[in-house]
A and B are shown apart, each in its own frame.
Chain A
Amino acid sequence: GQQVMQIPQYQHVQEGEDFTTYCNSSTTLSNIQWYKQRPGGHPVFLIQLVKSGEVKKQKRLTFQFGEAKKNSSLHITATQTTDVGTYFCAQRDYGQNFVFGPGTRLSVLP
């Protein structure tokens, strides 16, 4: 089946530092989604990328879809304590379902 890889598994940063997580697939993706899960919470949809090379921004968050549509990244500029949580990418399988990556857990030290 399809597998989604995410790196790093954990990331500890000082508040104000930047953070990037990467999502990689062995197959070409039709689209990719990103979700955030706060500690003790549930995943919340952040964004969906569809086009090759697409870049989308949400305030301090920048999402990018690779030119070959096999990878994606999420970059947070100047992290804040509110950014703490686990970030998941999800790629679509052959139906209407998404396969989730294992996630990157972000800790932000004040």
Chain B
Amino acid sequence: DAEITQSPRHKITETGRQVTLACHQTWNHNNMFWYRQDLGHGLRLIHYSYGVQDTNKGEVSDGYSVSRSNTEDLPLTLESAASSQTSVYFCASSEVSGGASTDTQYFGPGTRLTVL
């Protein structure tokens, strides 16, 4: 069965360190997204990609970067982790087919990141 996975599921790191969160999907979806979830803010978009070699900034992109070298993976990198980046991170994918968007986003299980 197709799925979307994230690793690690939990990560504790120190301020200033570089951290990379992995996201892998086997849906063969073109669109992939990274969100962070904090109490009272819902899901906020960090970066997104509509296909290989395509990346775009979302609402809260400062301090984060992504790369898309293949369809399946969209790793999220925190260049220099800050305590404000302590959060739960969700990766999602979706497909747009033909002229009618299906739009459904399939979310991964999430990564809980703590920056000390």
Q: Is the CB of B90 within 8 A of A48?
A: no
When distances are taken between beta carbons in the complex, the residues of chain A under 8 Å from B50 are 96
When distances are taken between beta carbons in the complex, the residues of chain B under 8 Å from A97 are 33, 45, 48, 58
Give min CB distance, B112 to chain A, whole Å: 10
Q: Complex Cα distance A43/B44, Å?
A: 13
Q: Complex Cα distance A48/B104, Å?
A: 8
Chain B, interface size: which category? Answer: 20 to 34
Q: Is the CB of A1 within 8 A of B43?
A: no
Q: Complex Cα distance A88/B43, Å?
A: 9
Q: Complex Cα distance A41/B37, Å?
A: 12
Name the residue of chain B whose CB is nearest to the CB of A9.
Answer: B40
When distances are taken between beta carbons in the complex, the residues of chain A under 8 Å from B103 are 31, 33, 48, 92, 96, 98
The main secondary structure of chain B at its interface with chain A is: strand
* Interface residues on chain A, number (Cβ under 8 Å): 20
Name the residue of chain B whose CB is nearest to the CB of A6.
Answer: B42
When distances are taken between beta carbons in the complex, the residues of chain B under 8 Å from A99 are 45, 59
Encoded as 1 (CB less than 8 Å from any A CB) or 0, chain B from 5 to 42 comes to 00000000000000000000000000101010000111
Task: Report which residue of B50, B101, B103 has the largest number of chain A beta carbons within 10 angstroms of its beta carbon.
Answer: B103
Within B31-88, which residues are at the interface with A (CB < 8 Å)?
A: 31, 33, 35, 40-45, 48, 50, 58-59
Interface residues of A (CB under 8 A from B): 1, 31, 33, 35, 41-45, 48, 88, 92, 96-103
- Please name the 10 residue pairs, one residue from A and one from B, whose CB atoms are nearest each other, closest first: A100-B43, A42-B107, A102-B42, A100-B42, A45-B104, A43-B107, A103-B42, A42-B110, A42-B109, A101-B42
Further contacts, 5 of them, CB under 8 A, given A41-B109, A42-B108, A103-B42? A1-B59, A43-B105, A45-B106, A99-B45, A99-B59
